[in-house]
Amino acid sequence: MTPSYKGRFAPSPTGFLHVGNAWVALLAWLDARRAGGSFILRIEDLDEARSRPAYRQAILEDLRWLGIDWDEGPDVGGPSAPYEQRRRRGLYEQVLARLMAKRELYPCFCARSRLLSIASAPHGLFADEPRYDRRCLRLSDAERAALAAAKAPSLRLHVADDALVTVDDRLLGSTTARPSEGGDFVVRRADGVIAYHLAVVVDDHAMGVTDVIRGADLFPSAFRQAYLAERLGYATPRYAHVPLVVDEDGRRLAKRHGDLALRSLRQLGVPSERLVGMLLWLAGQMDRPEPVRPAEAVRAFDLGRVPRVAVVWREAYTAQLKANAGS
């Protein structure tokens, strides 16, 4: 038992949860309950233009249908309320002010078109994005004032070139990298929206999160977030980046897979136990996909048995679930 364990699931209400989201939520919940710890539901709705109240409500309903509960969250409250990021902006602004006072941040006036055209692409962990060339870091005060009169800037964290960060991942092992290889990153967008990296670091610290289980696509983010946490004097949570669930073409499950939305499966009458059993089988926890409730799987759960490579969701699995609809 690990009474101090506190895990979380933090979806964005920009669409209905799908099987890929259920995979991460289930593994995170089972690991927390197996450790005898507590579990937080946090709604990451920083981008209010894309978030919808209907999706927020659906998240609560779909997770409960799945058999997942939480000790702290937007509907049950808790010591770290509020649990919706759009209501936590004041806290983020306080942290930004701290970083600004320490000269860790600088305004960036570059247009998106310029950022996309930057030829200096990083390698390794950050290969999927262009590396910012620090053009705005080198601006004079006069140049910044002139640009600010015409355009609101984003804010970037200046990442020290020689900084090394080690992430000890429970599934992927220990990896050391230089966050600067990905370039200075945005912590507040030009439109005023707080960036993901800042919000997640601040919230995990404020909410006492000790363990984070999330998709492997966010593994590179761990190095930036650990670096930012260090700059703020925060402890870094223990990570486990689980493989993504992909379709038969190798594409991660997303909103385009509408028939795999939990809401769609519910409406068809698919028993949640069938889906949970399928996911636990794919996670190496069962010999075959049999109906089971999450609470029944806690005692035998072992995160170490989760595969290290992407999990393929085959159309036959969907057909099997639909064949059991109403049963």
pLDDT per residue as tens digits for the range 44-91: 999 888 899 999 999 999 999 999 999 999 999 999 999 999 999 999
Residues 245, 250, 251: CA angle, nearest 5 degrees: 70
108 part of a folded domain: yes
Same domain, 27 and 106: no
62 part of a folded domain: yes
d(CA 73, CA 211): 17
Residues 84, 88, 92: CA angle, nearest 5 degrees: 135
Same domain, 314 and 269: yes
* Whether residue 255 has pLDDT greater than 90: no
Same domain, 78 and 97: no
233 part of a folded domain: no
Percent of the chain scoring above 90 in pLDDT: 86
- What pTM, to 2 d.p., does this model score? 0.94
Q: How far is CA 266 from CA 60, 125, 315, 322, in A?
A: 13, 38, 18, 10
Strands 38-41 and 6-9: parallel
| Rounded mean pLDDT, 126-130 | 76
Is residue 161 within 8 A of residue 231, CB to CB? The reply is no
d(CA 76, CA 296): 23
Domain of residue 317 covers 6-87+243-323
User: 177: how many CB neighbours lie within 10 A of its CB?
Assistant: 21
* 6, 102, 151, 255: the active-site residue: 255
Nearest CA among 180, 167, 169 for reference residue 122: 180
Tell me which amino acid residue 279 is. L
Q: Which two tokens stand for residue 321?
A: 């679930």
* Whether residue 2 has pLDDT greater than 60: no
Q: Is the peptide bond before 82 cis (omega within 30 degrees of 0)?
A: yes
Same domain, 178 and 98: yes
Q: Is 255 a catalytic residue?
A: yes
pLDDT per residue as tens digits for the range 184-230: 999 999 999 999 999 999 999 999 999 999 999 999 999 999 999 99
| Rounded mean pLDDT, 256-270 | 88
Q: What is the pLDDT of residue 86?
A: 95
